[in-house]
């Protein structure tokens, strides 16, 4: 069993819809990361958080340390949000990143 589980694996939405992607992890972590991989392949870090909530534009990330759960929300989704969203955590003495399998989001116009 992967230490990071994301759901759903695939998500199709209509433009304007509110999107939620969930991430659960099974070990103690130092920080939770959300990354975006564009269709062209590039990877961009969206958020790093260890508690509470962070917001950047239409993206919001939350984490519940007690429940070992994080969510990524996208408000007013747009076709350009179509990408793979990857949850990952840093933990252990070497702070290595351990990745989930990603959620493929497709936003249709």
Q: Which residues bind another protein (CB under 8 A)?
A: 30-31, 33, 37, 41-45, 48, 84, 86, 88, 90-91, 94-99, 101-102
Closer residue to another protein in complex, CB, 17/37? 37
Question: Peptide bond preceding 52: is omega within 30 degrees of 0, i.e. cis?
Answer: no
Compute the distance between CA of residue 74 and CA of residue 98 in angstroms, rounded to an integer. 23
The Cβ of residue 88 has, within 10 Å, a number of other Cβ atoms equal to 22
Closer residue to another protein in complex, CB, 37/82? 37
C-alpha of 19 from chain center? 11
Closer residue to another protein in complex, CB, 27/97? 97
Minimum Å gap between C-beta 48 and another protein is 5
- What residues does 62 pair with on adjacent strands? 53, 71
Minimum Å gap between C-beta 45 and another protein is 5
Token output for 106: 């497709």
Closer residue to another protein in complex, CB, 44/76? 44
Minimum Å gap between C-beta 18 and another protein is 25
Q: Check: CB of residue 85 under 8 Å from CB of residue 36.
A: yes
């Amino acid at each position: 069993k992967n230490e990071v589980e994301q759901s759903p694996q695939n998500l199709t939405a209509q433009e304007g819809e509110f999107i939620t992607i969930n991430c659960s992890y099974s070990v103690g972590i130092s920080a939770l990361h959300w990354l975006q991989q564009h269709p062209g392949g590039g990877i961009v870090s969206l958020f790093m958080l260890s508690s509470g909530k962070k917001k950047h534009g239409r993206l919001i990330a939350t984490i519940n340390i007690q429940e070992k759960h994080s969510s990524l929300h996208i408000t007013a989704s747009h076709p350009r949000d179509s990408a793979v969203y990857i949850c990952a955590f840093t933990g252990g003495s070497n702070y290595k990143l351990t990745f989930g399998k990603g959620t493929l989001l497709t936003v249709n116009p």
